[in-house]
Amino acid sequence: MKRNLKLLSVSVLLVALSACTTINVDQVRLKDTVAFKKGDAMVVLGRHQTAEIQTEASLVSCIGGRLARGTGDVRIIPEAEFVDAFYPWFEARTAPLHPKKLRRVLDQPQVAEKIKELNIRYFVWVEGSTERTNASGSMTCSIGPGGGGCFGFGTWEDTSDYETTIWDLDTFSEVGRVSTEAVGTSYMPAFVIPIPLLAQVEGDACQGMGKQLVRFFAKDPNALKTSP
């Protein structure tokens, strides 16, 4: 009976401490409409200029996947495939930081020809990172003749702060921005066995930003193809 009550109390505690995330998404549209033709392509790239600017490849891939599912008329070119095809023009230290500098890159005949061959119309640059903050709590683990285990409690916050910038290659101009901030609290209670309750901050940031980007490009924002 006591064991059952203990298990019940632990279950109630885990439910009460379920990890959660709050997310805010903002959009700035610098052009009234964005247009593309059937067969046009889009590339989603992360910024990796410095040690401080290292956008996670997993987030870039996630956003590309959501755009691929939500914008049926546009082909999404994966980041790794694009960077390899255009080496060394879009490596971390050589990638253009502004649309006008992209025009200079396209002054290279081989680059311009490849862009035309792939029908690339839009660049979507993703910049930001997820950081862990406000960690607290403690945990101890021990092993004895009768067995071992861990006891304690820990908690921390993960903060994702990302911004996407959208470039139109027809006009070599920035046509919009979408920014996302997601904050999640994770817990690690340990009653013999540590049980992590992790906030999926990066995944939630991708979902919020991806949905907003699809709305940005969608001809009919009320008929999105994105999965819930």
Domain of 64, CATH number, reads: 3.40.50
Both tokens assigned to 75: 């082909």
Predicted pLDDT at 50:
65
In a domain, 89, yes or no: yes
In a domain, 141, yes or no: no
Q: What percent of the chain has pLDDT over 90?
A: 25
In a domain, 75, yes or no: yes
pLDDT digits (tens, 9 = 90+) for 105-131: 989 999 999 999 999 999 999 998 888
In a domain, 9, yes or no: no
The residue among 180, 63, 82, 198 whose CA lies nearest residue 128 is 180
Average pLDDT of the residues in 43-60: 82
pLDDT digits (tens, 9 = 90+) for 80-103: 999 999 998 998 788 898 998 998
Q: What is the pTM of this model?
A: 0.77
Count of domains observed in the chain = 1
Phi, psi of 159 (to 5 degrees): -120, 120
Predicted pLDDT at 165:
94
In a domain, 18, yes or no: no
Cα–Cα distance measured from residue 48 to residue 130, given in angstroms and rounded to the nearest whole number: 14
In a domain, 153, yes or no: no
In a domain, 209, yes or no: yes
As a whole number of Å, the CA-based R_g of the chain is 23
**Residues β-bridged to residue 116:** none
Instruction: Identify the domain containing residue 168 by its residue range.
Output: 34-130+160-180+200-217
Both tokens assigned to 65: 């996947």
In a domain, 22, yes or no: no
Q: Are strands 120-144 and 41-46 parallel, antiparallel or unpaired?
A: parallel
Cα–Cα distance measured from residue 193 to residue 13, given in angstroms and rounded to the nearest whole number: 14
Q: What is the mean pLDDT of the chain?
A: 79
Both tokens assigned to 222: 């009320």
Residue 108's contacts (CB-CB under 8 Å, 6 or more residues apart) are 89
